[in-house]
Structure formats: C-alpha cells, structure tokens
Amino acid sequence: MKVIDQQMFMNTFQYFDKHIVLEIIDLFIRDYPARMSDIKKAIDTKDFSTLKFDAHSMKGVIANFMAEETEDIARTLENKGADEEGTMLEETYIKLEKSGAKLVDDLKELRQYFLE
C-alpha cells in the first residue's frame, strides 16, 4: 500500500527541475534514519520539548511528499511533545516507523521516474 498520494505528488512537482526533485527525495532518504533516531531518543528520555521540535520538523518535511498518513502520525508525536503527554509514545513511534518505511519505499519508486 502506498502512503504517498502520487497524483498530488506529480501535480506539485511537475514544473520542478528533475534534479531538484531528486535532491529533495535523496535528502529525505539520507536524513530519515537520523531524524527517526532523534525522535526515538526524545521519547526514551521523555524530552518533550525536543520531541515536539523533532516531530514538527519531520512532519513538515513529510508534508512535501503528500503522505497524509505519515504526516498525521508525526503530528500526533508533535502534539504529545507539546502537551507533555507520555502515553502511547512507543506505539505511536512504531506506527511512524512503519509508515515512514513505506514512505521511503514510495520515494525510491518515484525517484526512478525522475531519473528518466
């Protein structure tokens, strides 16, 4: 199952230079593990301020890719950070991990289109 709305993605990036789109995709894929690690660390240490910031940052980047499900999960973590809400953090992180992995897979697939 795809998490990216491919039609919206193509509509948004249709006038971009293909090299720019590839850079945007590659930056996300490259930075994704570190971003997830930062969020996990904030959850493990109950550093709600950092969780809010890192989840907000992740949410913003994900929004570029029209991946509403993944964006919503990041928003949930951002809100938990803002509200200093410690329940369901691990479970929500696992959902973000799963949805984020699908996002990365979708981006790798879309990347092939922009290589042509």
Distances in Å between the Cα of 47 and the Cα atoms of 18, 24, 53, 74 are 39, 29, 10, 16
Neighbours of 102 (CB within 10 A): 17
What does the pLDDT read at residue 68? 96
pTM more than 0.85: yes
Tell me how long the chain is: 116
CATH 3.40.50 fits 6-109, yes or no: no
Radius of gyration of the chain (CA): 15
Domain boundaries of the chain, sorted by first residue: 6-109
- Summarize pLDDT for 29-87 with one digit per residue, the tens: 999 999 999 999 999 999 999 999 999 999 999 999 999 999 999 999 999 999 999 99
Picking from 112, 43, 104, the residue whose alpha carbon sits closest to that of residue 76 is 43
pLDDT at 116 over 90: no
